[in-house]
Structure 1
Amino acid sequence: MGCFMANFCRLLCFCFLFFSFVFGARELAVADDRQHAEEMNSLLPASKSFPNFTNEGSRSQLGQDQSKGRSVFSLPFEGPKLSLQKKPIGDDNYVVTVGFGTPKRDLTLMFDTGSSTTWIQCKPCMNCYDQEDPIFDPSQSSTFSNSSHPYTQNYHDKSYASGYFAYDTLTMATYEFKDFTFLCGHNNSGLFGAVAGVLGIGLSNDSLISQTSGNFLRLFCYCLPPTEASSGFLAFGITAALTCLPRISTPLISDPDGFNRYFVNLVGITIGQRTLQISSNDAASLRNTIIDSGTHITRLPATVYSELRSVFNEFMAKFPVAPRFGKMDTCYNLAGYDLSSVVPSMILHFDNSVDLNLDHDSVVLSESESQVCLAFAEDTETIIGNHQQRNVNVLYDIIDKKVGFSRGTCGS
């Protein structure tokens, strides 16, 4: 009895400290949410419209929205922890399995922080690519309803999914969400591998994060496994905070293009012992850096990439050059060498003195021993890709507008 009481008291103390942390100094970024909600609500019937989140309404909504999701044997706001895998069907991306419909159909989706809309391929298909899971048949779900409002989700690489917004039950572990809004894609094309669709975890009101805000407090974290043999995770709510709580965080900033992506200020790059000299113009570009789990390698502005490539080439000068691979134009033949002893480390520096340390496996991408390429490319946007996020705990606190990095263990 004494042991039970001691454990109960510890639980009470933990809950008090945690909720003090969660609710102590939070402010909602309501402008983007309200604007997107208004755009979405113009498309949807009144009975299905998205809530407008406000500083006062958001917290009172926590109890109201809780009824939309059901959790078995869980603490309030606890949240699930889903397995995250690197699979060939994801086309160099990461996949997670969730359930749609009643009865539940498990579908494997690409995990994407760079977009907000969750979509799946649906019958009837006008133009559907081949996927590993059976294509979702709305007529087989007793809880499915269709809004009849068309929408097309476009991506940076020219991929797209086009169809109609629909509503059905979404299941994540023991959590069920009735009338979850998603895109039923009937005309889809692009670099999706063989997944059934995309789990969009961006910032807008139709995203998974906003639709589950009353359950998970707009907290989520993930760890991307470096290999197909290892397993990562995607966690929400208190589970996310306890799993990934970093020592220090960098601010999330508003998307300058209004697409509700996650932006941070990248303020510098160090490779080996060399810190790149970044001009004021380039510094302005780096201040709008996207964190994107759905982009493979990191993209940099032309002049920043040029200097990074130049410094990398100095480190690799004694090794034979290899052919370029795709967007990666700086490759070497390192057959017979231990990569950890010849490839320089790298540090990405963010606001608030937050550093993301990259080891050699995250600096380069190895297609073979004879073709090891610098895993960065030139682009018009600055994007931190998933190759550089591997085996790192990344925690997003949307309400407090911050993201933190800590060393993960999902690669072991």
Structure 2
Amino acid sequence: MGAIVDTYPIDDSYALFLWIGTPVQIAFVQMDLGSPITWTQCDPCSNCYPMQRSPFNTKESSTFRELGCYSETCLDPRMKELLGNCTSWTCRYNVNYGKESSSFGTMVIDTLNFERSNNELKGFIMGCGDSYEGPYRAQFSGVLGLGRGPLSLQSQLNAKAFSFCLVNFGSQTASTLEFYDRAPQIDKHDNSIIMVPLRENSGYPNYYFLQFVGISINGFMLDVKSSVWGYGLNYDGGVILDIGSIATYLPSEAYNVFKLEIRKVDHNLTREQAHEDLELCYKDDSFNVYPSIALHFENGNVAGENFVSFNMNNDQMLLRVDEGTVCLSFVEGKDSNLTVIGSNQLQGTQLMIDLVKEILVFIHNKC
């Protein structure tokens, strides 16, 4: 089923309104490309984090029902890690987001309405959160699951592709998240379009992994082993997108090479003190000439070169952390082998994921 939802940039994240239940109640949820389920905090709630909105009131929806331990959903072997600790009548979930935060609750069914496209998804399976660990922001009611797996929103819609635009942070303009019955046709000769093959990683089954080649600074590729990027059959690492993370995180081995090369070419810039995890910081000056940084991927287009490049502009490279100070938005991922490309690098870019061909399409300056 096709559907369209308006999306909004909120601080360093992207979010949307979900219209759930009968009659409709509205939840404001954060988009997440790695979450296997959608969840929102619900009443009754034993340990909900503080929110600006009221939790979803399950008793007010005539189409709401809980899922049991022996339901088809709860017994699905693909969801064993998420739903495998079912000890009571209800089907419980436990979803983790890195090492920082988790949500716990009950799996339920209700109706999801798409006000923009004037249609609905009956029997939408989601989580009703009743407790949590770690930090969550008060403006969000929960998370919209756009990761791999049978319970993501695109899977429940039987969508063949979905796309969204990451408008620049601070923009007052809404964008859209669109789900397609058939993947849109792509002009393979358009130079503003990059097509990258996706792959799965059994160690991180909910993520879309990219066939990544490397990073260049001022046209020179960093001397980093391909195994660090998880290129080929190395399942210890790999490269993913995370639109809930503003910076790009590089494994220590790659970050050390990146930092050393930046220090070789940033002599024309006035260096400033590090800002928390951001080490490469400079005095903000309109006359600054920053190094050119590009991300390189395997080409998913049948025609063309073996590799394609995503060349970043200053807005995508830099974060303004204080008045008069900017930092390169690259951070050392000290506790992970994953390379995580954050949302700052993707501002102004439309992303389209073709779920049939397993292709990620970047469209520059589309938002």
Matching residue's letter, 2:44: P
Distance 1:401 1:124, change over 3 A: same
Mapped contact 2:211–2:298 kept (Cα < 8 A): yes
1:338 aligns with 2:286: yes
Structure with more strand by fraction: 2
Distance 1:161 1:243, change over 3 A: farther
1:355 aligns with 2:309: yes
**Paired-residue identity, %:** 30
Q: 5+ unaligned residues in a row in structure 1: which ranges?
A: 1-76
Identify which of 247, 255, 262 aligns with 2:208.
262
Identify which of 170, 173, 176 aligns with 1:233.
176
Q: Report SS of the residue matched to 1:241.
A: coil
TM-score (norm 1): 0.73
Mapped contact 1:93–1:295 kept (Cα < 8 A): yes
Structure with more helix by fraction: 1
1:97 aligns with 2:97: no
Partner of residue 279, structure 1? 225
Partner of residue 202, structure 1? 147
1:81 aligns with 2:4: yes
**In terms of Rg, which structure is larger?**
1
Q: For residue 161 of structure 1, report the CA deviation from its aligned partner.
A: 0.8
CA distance in 2, matches of 1:267, 1:382: 12
Q: Report SS of the residue matched to 1:252.
A: strand
Q: For residue 283 of structure 1, report the CA deviation from its aligned partner.
A: 4.4
Moved more, 100-109 or 313-322: 313-322
Mapped contact 2:165–2:348 kept (Cα < 8 A): yes
User: What does residue range 301-340 of structure 1 map to in structure 2 within 5 Å?
Assistant: 301-334=251-284, 337-338=285-286
CA distance in 1, matches of 2:4, 2:279: 38
Q: 5+ unaligned residues in a row in structure 2: which ranges?
A: 68-89, 300-306
CA distance in 1, matches of 2:99, 2:319: 20
Distance 1:258 1:304, change over 3 A: closer
Q: For residue 242 of structure 1, report the CA deviation from its aligned partner.
A: 6.0
1:169 aligns with 2:126: no
User: What does residue range 135-154 of structure 1 map to in structure 2 within 5 Å?
Assistant: 135-147=55-67, 148-154=90-96
Identify which of 376, 382, 392 aligns with 2:349.
392
Q: Report SS of the residue matched to 1:311.
A: helix
Mapped contact 1:114–1:293 kept (Cα < 8 A): no
Partner of residue 367, structure 1? 321
Partner of residue 250, structure 1? 196
Equivalent residue pairs, number:
324
Matching residue's letter, 2:196: T
Query: Which 4+ runs in 1 deviate beyond 4 A?
Result: 242-248
Mapped contact 1:128–1:189 kept (Cα < 8 A): no
Matching residue's letter, 2:20: F
Matching residue's letter, 1:227: F
CA distance in 2, matches of 1:130, 1:243: 43
| Residues 65-88 of structure 1: CA deviation (Å, up to 9, x unaligned) | xxxxxxxxxxxx5x2332221114
